[in-house]
């Protein structure tokens, strides 16, 4: 993937073809795909505060823009892990959202320390592998800051949905002990600050259709649902329209 120090805010890091490998098994067409309670999709999330920190209370987070076959991937990182990941946004909007949520200043990745640049480089490699169908689970640590208790509960539930499986909003609500809270689950999923790493694209409507996707990401509903469909297709999942 090259020298990780070359990432610069607004630049595109090279995303060449990933290595080959077995794709996650398809779960068939239509309906809610079984989502077994197994090993989490990513490593355990670090214990970030459930409330926003005061501005400047922590060290700056480094921002990078990686290139993928699905478009630019905007990342906020530190030596501890990944603090933010979005697809359909701009560098300016992403930086503002990260600073508002975490209460931290941000900086360009070129100004970050070596450990942070290495963390972003690891993400680049794992994204290439995942989008090539060669990696089912990300090994990067996630750090959630400025995320409330309810959203954290929901995101922990979403993380139990394995690659190649889906679960409805209602099913996620039942998993976390709040049956009947499907709409509230949908709201929390839409606020997911680390898309892909916490796989909100695997949460679908109860009738087996795509449901929603992207939260505040830019783009029309149709464009965001096409992105969700593409992410599921990488994992071998096809849903009816």
Task: Render pLDDT for 183-217 as a digit per residue (tens, 0 to 9).
Answer: 999 999 999 999 999 999 999 999 998 888 877 77
**Would you say residue 150 has pLDDT above 90?**
yes
Q: What is the pLDDT of residue 241?
A: 63
Q: What is the pLDDT of residue 11?
A: 32
Q: What is the CATH number of domain 149-234?
A: 1.10.10.10
Between 58 and 184, where is the model more confident?
184
Active-site annotation holder among 61, 65, 142, 200: 200
163 assigned to active site: no
Q: What is the pLDDT of residue 21?
A: 35
Lowest mean pLDDT of 158-167, 168-177, 213-222, name the range.
Answer: 213-222
**Every domain of the chain and the residues it spans:** 4-23+40-131, 149-234
**Would you say residue 36 has pLDDT above 90?**
no
How far apart (Å, rounded) are the C-alpha atoms in residues 181 and 192? 17
């Amino acid at each position: 993937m090259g020298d990780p120090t070359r990432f610069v805010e607004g630049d595109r890091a090279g995303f060449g073809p990933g290595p080959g490998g077995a794709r996650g098994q398809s779960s068939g067409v239509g309906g809610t795909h079984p989502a077994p309670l197994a090993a989490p999709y990513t490593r355990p999330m670090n214990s970030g505060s459930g409330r926003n920190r005061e501005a400047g209370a922590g060290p700056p987070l480094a921002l990078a823009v990686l290139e993928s076959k699905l478009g630019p991937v905007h990342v906020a990182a530190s030596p501890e892990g990944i603090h933010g990941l979005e697809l359909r946004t701009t560098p300016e909007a992403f930086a503002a959202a990260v600073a508002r949520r975490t209460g931290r200043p941000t900086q360009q990745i070129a100004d970050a320390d070596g450990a942070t640049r290495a963390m972003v480089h690891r993400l680049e490699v794992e994204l290439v592998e995942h989008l090539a169908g060669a990696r089912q689970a990300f090994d990067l640590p996630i750090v959630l800051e400025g995320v409330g208790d309810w959203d954290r509960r929901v995101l922990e539930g979403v993380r139990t949905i394995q690659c190649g499986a889906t679960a409805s909003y209602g099913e996620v609500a039942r998993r976390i002990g709040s049956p009947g809270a499907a709409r509230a689950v949908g709201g929390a999923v839409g606020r997911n600050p680390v898309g892909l790493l916490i796989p909100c694209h695997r949460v679908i409507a109860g009738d087996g259709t795509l449901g929603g996707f992207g939260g505040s990401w830019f783009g029309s509903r149709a464009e965001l649902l096409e992105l969700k469909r593409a992410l599921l297709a990488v994992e071998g999942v096809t849903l009816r329209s």
